[in-house]
Amino acid sequence: MSASSRPRAAVIGGGIGGLCAAIALRRRGWDVEVFEETESVVVGAGITLWSNGLAALGVLGVADEVRTAGTDMTGVRIVDSTGRELMRQQSRPGSLVALHRRDLNGALLSALPGDVVRTSTPATVVDAGRGVVEADGREAHYDLVVAADGVHSRTRLRWWPEADGERDCGIRAWRAVVDGAADEAMTVWGPAGECGILPLPDDTTYVFAASRGPARAGGLSYFDDWVDPVPTLLHRIAEPIVHDLTDLDPVRQPVKGATVLIGDAAHAMRPHLGQGAGLSIEDAVVLAEHCDPSGAFDGAGFARARRRRWSTVAFLARRATSVMMPTNPVTGLAHTLVPLVPDRLMGASVERIADWRP
DSSP designation for 47: E
DSSP designation for 323: H
How far apart are the C-alpha atoms of 222 and 195, rounded to whole Å?
11
How far apart are the C-alpha atoms of 154 and 163, rounded to whole Å?
13
pLDDT of the residue at 328:
85
- Which DSSP string do the residues of 234-294 spell out, in sequence order? HHT-SS-EEEEEEE-PPPS--EETTEEE-THHHH---GGGS-HHHHHHHHHHHHHHTB-TT
Which of 30, 20, 26 has the alpha carbon at shortest distance from 57? 20
DSSP designation for 29: T
Which of 42, 41, 39, 44 has the alpha carbon at shortest distance from 121? 39
pLDDT of the residue at 1:
45
pLDDT of the residue at 164:
81
CA distances to 57, 67, 94 from 74, in Å: 19, 13, 8
Q: Which helix (H) or strand (E) holds 64?
A: helix 63-69
Averages of pLDDT over runs of 10 residues in the chain (358 residues) are 78 98 98 97 93 98 97 95 93 94 96 97 98 97 98 97 91 96 95 97 96 94 97 95 95 97 97 94 98 97 98 94 86 70 64 92
pLDDT of the residue at 336:
76
Rg of the chain (C-alpha set): 20
pLDDT of the residue at 2:
44
For residue 188, the SS3 value is strand
This prediction's pTM = 0.94
